[in-house]
Structure 1
Amino acid sequence: MSDPNARIADIVAADDVVLFMKGTPLFPQCGFSSRAIAILDHLGVDYASVDVLQDMEVRQGIKSYSDWPTIPQLYVKGEFVGGSDIMMEMFEAGELGTLMQEKQVKPAQ
């Protein structure tokens, strides 16, 4: 049996921007995940996604890893940013774009 926290830590460390979501970027399975993808796509940053519906261990583990009860969850350079509501607030205020620039996140290819 694997350690979900160690697996999640490895996933978060592997890419500059990681979105834990329900579904995939091409086929999000909830409105909140769809909104999160739309924000990241609009910002034009390179990101990885993890479909929590495909792995129950990660789906439950991510909630305790971040101490955040809902999905999607965004991580930038290993740091938890928040869910779709926080992403939307930060995006609308220009803070999410600024964060991506400050963290020197690569643009999408």
Structure 2
Amino acid sequence: MSDVNSRIDEIVKGNDVVLFMKGTALFPQCGFSSRAVAILDHLGVPFETVDVLQDQEIRQGIKGYSEWPTIPQLYVKGEFVGGSDIMMEMFESGELQQLVAAEA
């Protein structure tokens, strides 16, 4: 495992809910990241964020780690959930609430 994959793995496994995003939870830098934060805020679940704009290695590495080409990316209990579109679909169906509630 490369150094960047090890760093990402540590972040993913060290946090129950983590969102790799552009910007921060208080100041998202893209609409998709903003929507992802809004969904998590609405659920009231504590979550960590990683600003990929601050670390080019992680910005590129996360795409290979998840085999998913876009950001944001949500992980719950070490498992890749998806990006903002998948998060919205899961939120609307109630799946996301069940997933994070089961992990709380």
Normalising by the residue count of structure 1, what TM-score does the alignment of the two structures yield? 0.92
Q: CA RMSD in A?
A: 0.8
Q: In the alignment, which residue of structure 2 is the partner of 1:75?
A: 75
Deviation at 1:6, TM superposition (A): 0.2
Matches of 1:77 and 1:99 in 2, distance apart? Answer: 10
Matched letter for residue 92 of structure 1: E
Deviating runs (4+, > 4 A) in structure 1? Answer: none
Matched letter for residue 76 of structure 2: V
| Deviations 1:48-97 (CA, angstroms, capped at 9, x unpaired) | 00000000000000000000000000000000000000000000001100
Q: In the alignment, which residue of structure 2 is the partner of 1:102?
A: 102
Q: In the alignment, which residue of structure 2 is the partner of 1:31?
A: 31
Q: Does residue 1:62 correspond to 2:68, yes or no?
A: no
Deviation at 1:4, TM superposition (A): 0.5
Deviation at 1:38, TM superposition (A): 0.1
Matches of 2:42 and 2:101 in 1, distance apart? Answer: 14
Q: In the alignment, which residue of structure 1 is the partner of 2:7?
A: 7
Structure 2: state its 5+ residue gaps: none
Q: In the alignment, which residue of structure 2 is the partner of 1:20?
A: 20
Percent identity over the alignment is 76
Structure 1: state its 5+ residue gaps: none
Normalising by the residue count of structure 2, what TM-score does the alignment of the two structures yield? 0.97
